[in-house]
Amino acid sequence: MEIRLVDKNDVFMRFVVEGVDVSFMNALRRIVLAEVPCMAIDEVVIIENSSLLHDEILAHRMGLIPIKTDLDTYNLPEECTCKSELGCNLCRAALTMEVEASDGIKTVYSGDLKPENPDIAPVSDRIPLVKLAPGQKIKLEAYARLGKGKAHAKWQPVSMCIHKYLPRIKVDESRCDLCGECVRICPKKVLVPADDKKKLKVQNLIECTLCQDCVDICPLDPSAIEVNWDEGTFIFSMESTGALPVERIIFEALNVLDKKVDGFLKELKK
């Protein structure tokens, strides 16, 4: 297996993997979505809510707020030594909110949640939750816990996680008459005229979506453009919600995959 990093920042990562098959890449994708734990608000105690939103709707909206996660300090509830349904400081983090609209209409944001632990706080403080009319008030306590995406989508650490084959584009220069139709129709501008204007060149190959539009629009029969893919090379793209760094998500997913393979091999030896 060979891995080549293409693009990375705090919340996005894209890399090329060679020497694997589609089952491996799909297993990695599914583990990222369903098995890597992160924090989310799981329980809300409403003390006062005079807004137009019912308690259940307000609690549901809060549950979908991405929460910064510390996997090294907190335990999954089912693995915590406290064995309590209420949880403890090692498996839950508390956040409080007390907001009141006095003069005019007030928008309540995720930033109005005050975390007990500053490391377990909303990723963004500008997520709108509800609007309060003058005199309306919200007072509540919320509890965030670790969970996995297979139980609820609010525990998915990514907003996007996909893989695709690495495209292969071949232009028959002996037949191509540079009509420019393929350049015009390509949504990702992968095909462009070369500097000498005498042939086509391929740029940003990774951006190709394999849509085949360039092949279909070519006026020649058969087409002078051939779009294919390498079945042993994949482009893996992932975007974090901000709950965890993208590299930590990948490392955790690979650890889960290793444990699953080890468990499978042990069962085979029985």
Is the fold of 2-34+159-238 the same as that of 38-154?
Answer: no
Give the per-residue pLDDT at 76.
96
Q: Where are the beta strands (DSSP E) in 23-149?
A: 38-49, 93-100, 106-109, 114-115, 128-132, 137-147
CB 243 within 8 A of CB 157: yes
Give the per-residue pLDDT at 194.
87
From first to last of the 270 residues of the chain, give the pLDDT tens digit. Answer: 899 999 999 899 999 999 999 999 999 999 999 999 999 999 999 999 999 999 999 999 999 999 999 999 999 999 999 999 889 999 999 999 999 999 899 999 999 999 999 999 999 999 999 999 999 999 999 999 999 999 999 999 999 999 999 999 999 989 998 999 999 999 999 999 988 778 899 998 999 999 999 999 999 999 999 999 999 999 999 999 999 999 999 999 999 999 999 999 999 988
Name the residue ranges covered by the structural domains of the chain: 2-34+159-238, 38-154
Helix (H, G, I), strand (E, B) or coil at 58: helix
Helix (H, G, I), strand (E, B) or coil at 85: coil
Checking DSSP bridges between strand 158-171 and strand 225-240, what pairing results, if any? antiparallel
Answer yes or no: CATH 1.10.10.10 is held by domain 2-34+159-238: no
Specify the pTM. Answer: 0.90
Give the per-residue pLDDT at 198.
82
Task: Give domain 38-154's CATH superfamily.
Answer: DNA-directed RNA polymerase, insert domain (2.170.120.12)
SS3 content of the chain, % helix, strand, coil (to 5): 25, 35, 40
DSSP, residue by residue, 103-133: SS-EEEEGGG-EESSTTSSBS-S--EEEEE-
DSSP, residue by residue, 165-195: EEEEEEE-TTT-----HHHHH-TT--EEE-T
Residue 229 CA to its chain's centroid (Å): 25
- How far, in Å, are 30, 127, 143, 182 from residue 64 at the CA level? 20, 10, 13, 43
Give the per-residue pLDDT at 270.
80
Give the chain's length.
270
Give the per-residue pLDDT at 51.
97
